[in-house]
């Protein structure tokens, strides 16, 4: 699952591939926004943890990962 996180006052977004379901990611975002510690914590496919302060989250886009096309025959 591909997750894109827009961060306020930052020109680039955070993009990661995660094995979590869309419901799990949505629940984690909602809990981070409502919790006292205000920290969003997600884990990517390689086991790396991504931490984002909830007060700086502009948006979170949750979508299916697309197969990467390589070469001229994939037009």
What DSSP assignment string belongs to the chain? -EEEEEETT-SS-EEEE-SS-HHHHHHHHHHHHHSSS-EEEEE-TTS-EEEEEGGGEEEEEEEPPPPPP-SGGG-
Which carries the bigger pLDDT value, residue 67 or residue 64?
64
Provide the domain limits for residue 50. 2-66
State how far Cα 59 lies from the chain centre. Answer: 9
Q: What's the whole-model pTM score?
A: 0.79
Q: Is residue 50 part of a domain?
A: yes
Higher-confidence residue of 71 and 21: namely 21
> Is pLDDT above 70 for 67?
no
In a domain, 74, yes or no: no
Report how far apart, in Å, the C-alpha atoms of 20 and of each of 1, 11, 54 are.
7, 26, 19
**Residue 72, in any domain of the structure:** no
Tens of pLDDT along 14-63? 999 999 899 999 999 999 999 877 899 999 999 999 999 999 999 999 98
**Is there a domain that residue 71 lies in?**
no
- 75 assigned to some structural domain: no
Overall domain count for the chain: 1
Would you say residue 17 lies in a domain? yes
Is residue 10 one of the residues assigned to a domain?
A: yes
């Amino acid at each position: 699952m591909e997750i894109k996180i827009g961060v306020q006052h930052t020109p680039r977004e955070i993009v990661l591939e995660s094995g979590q379901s869309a419901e799990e990611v949505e629940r984690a975002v909602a809990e981070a926004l409502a919790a006292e510690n205000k920290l969003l914590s997600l884990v990517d496919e390689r086991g790396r943890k991504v931490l984002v302060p909830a007060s700086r989250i502009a948006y979170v886009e949750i979508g299916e990962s697309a197969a990467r096309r390589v070469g001229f025959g994939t037009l």
